[in-house]
Homo-oligomer: A and B are copies of this chain.
Amino acid sequence: IAKEVAKLLEMKAQLGGDEGKHKFVLKTPKGTRDYSPKQMAIRERVFNAIITCFKRHGAEVIDTPVFELKETLTGKYGEDSKLIYDLKDQGGELLSLRYDLTVPFARYLAMNKITNIKRYHIAKVYRRDNPAMTRGRYREFYQCDFDIAGQFDPMIPDAECLKIVHEILSDLQLGDFLIKVNDRRILDGMFAVCGVPDSKFRTICSSVDKLDKMPWEEVRSEMVGEKGLSPEAADHIGEYVQLHGGLDLIERLLQDPKLSQHKLAKEGLGDMKLLFEYLTLFGIAGKISFDLSLARGLDYYTGVIFEAVLLQQENDHVEESVSVGSVAGGGRYDGLVGMFDPKGRKVPCVGVSIGIERIFSILEQRVEASEEKIRTTETQVLVASAQKKLLEERLKLISELWDAGIKAEVLYKKNPKLLNQLQYCEDTGIPLVAIVGEQELKDGVVKLRVVATREEVNVRRESLVEEIRMRTSR
């Protein structure tokens, strides 16, 4: 049988070749997807919640190109740089797709000499990562960034970023969540007192960053085996990274004989204490955990860092199947703008990025499970006819409605059946039908039908717009 199958397959291939037709692969590129109208409806709900929050906090909005000069991105992402998409050299400048919105933002600030701005930016970014699309990990994905740039008193903008994450995650009703915070200065102090050589800070930091995906034992062996750290230093780190808590832990570490002697760590701990005071004033300290294992992968952070994770709910069957991790992250990057400024002038920045794809995965699955019917259009009325030969009359009426700002549709048929027209309303959720007929035309009225109740009333043509507005203004 196998032989026969092989022969048939070969014949098939030959046949394909004879037709001169190249086997065309009908797909989107690896790690990307289309959004259907239904998915777009869910996505727009999420965007609305996020944008509303950003605007509530007084943010302006900017936009930057999808690609940057390659050198703009060079040296900003540490070990992640290998994931950057480059464009082909077709003559002219060497370009890369943006990897995040933070580096383009810093480039924008330096280029326009802006030293003070609070802005949001919602756009797609690109990473040649291994996609895990069922868990909301894509190569093309949206980031929703809010950043505050400027020289301000300590920790006030930082606290606002955390407030924003708290507001958005609460608003979207994604279930329980926790926001982990740490500080790069505390991490560096920790590495110093554990005996990590200065030159290994960044690479050991990358290892610590893997603690949310790997057990400590593996991270430890990466540190010792691959990165050549002494076992004693690793074990010492191992003790610190288990620590998490609130003000109590901050106080304890401020008393830590070694850490409190480290200038940067002490500064970081002092700021962390201040941050928790502000978070308490905002009423959100209960959802924040100071966590020494939080490291964040990117190179450019210089102070506070944070990451929000959704907590698995054991009783919620819908969400159990989606393993979500981090849904928001960010931190302070006081040196990045200076990397672009010809004179190295610094603009302190702190910001947060909401990871919309994972949130979207959860909401999409929730909608699927609930069998909630989502409308993908906003059409208020279908202009229909009961008899034949009324296309002209339908077009005249719908034109009047459009010009009055009514959202209206008509079937693109000369003589559609009334049943088909009503069915279209059922399928798409259109609440009203405006029916023209010979008699109605003579009488100067239009028959308005409510799809849900099948109620029908004759409305004078000159009152139709008002009547439709009233009936669809809920």
Which A residues lie at the B interface, using CB under 8 A? 22, 24-30, 32-37, 40, 43-44, 55-69, 71, 85-90, 92-93, 95, 97, 107-108, 110-112, 117, 119, 124, 126, 128, 140, 148, 150, 152-153, 156-157, 159-160, 163, 167, 278, 281-283, 340, 342, 376-379, 391-392, 395-396, 399, 402-403, 405-410, 412-414
Residues on B with C-beta less than 8 A from A117 are: 37
Chain B residue contacts of A412, Cβ below 8 A: 148, 150, 152-153, 156-157, 160
Chain B residue at smallest Cβ distance from A96: B88
Contact B56 A153 (CB under 8 A): no
Q: Is the CB of B92 within 8 A of A406?
A: no
Contact A110 B157 (CB under 8 A): no
Q: Check A69–B150 contact: CB distance below 8 A.
A: no
* Contact A377-B55, Cβ < 8 Å, known A65-B33, A111-B26: yes
**Of B29, B66, B399, B414, which is within 8 A of A281 by CB?**
B399
Q: How far is the CB of A460 from chain B (nearest CB, A)?
A: 21
Residue pair B85, A87 in contact (C-beta under 8 Å): yes
* C-alpha gap A119/B41 in the complex (Å): 13
Select A89's contact among B64, B88, B111, B278, beta carbons within 8 Å: B88
Q: Which residue of B lies closest to A404 (CB)?
A: B56
Pairs A–B under 8 Å by Cβ, sample size 23 = A24-B340, A26-B110, A26-B340, A28-B68, A28-B111, A30-B93, A34-B64, A35-B64, A40-B61, A40-B62, A40-B63, A43-B63, A65-B140, A85-B87, A86-B87, A87-B88, A148-B412, A153-B412, A157-B412, A159-B395, A163-B402, A278-B395, A281-B399
With a CB–CB cut-off of 8 A, which chain B residues contact A126? 66
- Contact present for B108 and A58 (CB under 8 Å): no
A71 pairs with B24, CB closer than 8 A: yes
Kindly list chain B residues whose C-beta atoms are within 8 Å of the C-beta of A97: 66, 87
Residues of B within 8 A of A27 (CB): 69, 111
